[in-house]
Structure 1
């Protein structure tokens, strides 16, 4: 309780940083980070193929979703001759998808922490050079991580589209007559990659505004004013 009281006693809400690029860009990072991992995590898609054996076509739904371990999503093919076989989607793209979501969740947590620091403990943030310096280093690391994870997930998404391509699934129906009924919706996943690269731009650009708060940009000792600079005779 004593620690909690000390923390709350030092809290002083100040919305001034939101009007500055440092705080405003951090809010944008917070929003776009949520959009990035929310559009990837929890995704579920499906491709439906019809086998025309008689008057009523037989539907074959092939489901897949996050984290895109496609072999874990089997689907049954009921052939016209009465036989049935279990078929699996091919490819495990979970590493790039989970890496992308992990960076997004960690970025969201860091944005939340720094926004609380900016708005409630601004005096603590600026009273020493340590706060802005650490903030600059961590923000630079996240900018690099967004570059890596967005590129990896972009390649992973391309592979997911290839592995779930309807033309590939139709080949598994042979020698039966198959046709596509519905295609998987990939708009949400395409948006996730876009949000990833938007985060890269935001985090990399924010490094400049944080850099201006560090001693690397500000002089260690402020220059003397005009009055102090005039020597007395």
Structure 2
């Protein structure tokens, strides 16, 4: 009868934002009629709230960007402000997703340690008595929280991969794409000017300039010179 009456169980409920130091539970004492109130250890609300805040703002910005892409395409491309703002915000959110996901993954690991049944039993005075046997009936379920960490890093990969596509819409990428084609055109223009300059110089260096009636007969003058020279000999 004494053994049956001492077969007691207790449950500990904890959830977001994981301020475990505020989570209390009552544990039976050896007398059986008394119960003690205990608290878990740790405060992991900052990492959890930071992760959720980044997720909410990223979702809202995605909605605003989608509306701008569809209904305000002209305003989006006006003066190249839209693509530049979109590029900067995408880089910031990519970094924030990485930081928040890493912080939440570390906090979740600490939450698992703080709520481990073997660790919680160390706080219960009745479990410190060697004559009593304390064991966990059911451990916490971490599937949902583990999934949140995975989705956090997937969002980082998605936003980081989108940086290139947003950068292609900016004036920086378009200016860099036009830059390689600039020097050859300038070089060809300089070559044409230099060729025209050489042609003018050749015309001006001859005995008969482009003005006058004897200009086209430059070939005759070139032939006549050696003939005149031979006559002098």
The TM-score with structure 2 as length reference comes to: 0.70
- From 150, 154, 169, the equivalent of 2:105 is 154
Aligned CA distance change for structure 1 residues 68 and 60 (closer, same or farther; 3 Å) = same
Distance 1:157 1:135 in 2: 32
Q: Return the structure number with greater relative CO, CA threshold 8 A, min gap 6.
A: 1
Contact 1:125–1:131 (Cα < 8 Å) also in 2: yes
Aligned CA distance change for structure 1 residues 198 and 54 (closer, same or farther; 3 Å) = same
Larger helix share, 1 or 2: 2
Structure 2: gaps of 5 or more residues: 183-187, 193-233
- State the partner residue of 2:81: 130
Distance 2:147 2:177 in 1: 47
Q: Does 1:98 align with 2:54?
A: no
CA positional deviation for 1:78: 1.0
**More divergent stretch after superposition (75-84 vs 205-214):** 75-84
Q: CA offsets per residue over residues 13-72 of structure 1, 9 Å max, x none?
A: xxxxxxxxxxxxxxxxxxxxxxxxxxxxxxxxxxxxxxx952573121111110000011
Larger strand share, 1 or 2: 1
Structure 1: gaps of 5 or more residues: 1-51
- CA root-mean-square deviation: 2.4
Distance 1:220 1:164 in 2: 55
Q: Does 1:60 align with 2:16?
A: no
Q: Name the count of aligned residue pairs.
A: 177
- State the partner residue of 1:163: 114
The TM-score with structure 1 as length reference comes to: 0.70
Distance 2:44 2:86 in 1: 32
The alignment partner of 2:62 has SS state of helix
Task: Point out 4+ residue stretches in structure 1 off by more than 4 angstroms.
Answer: 220-224
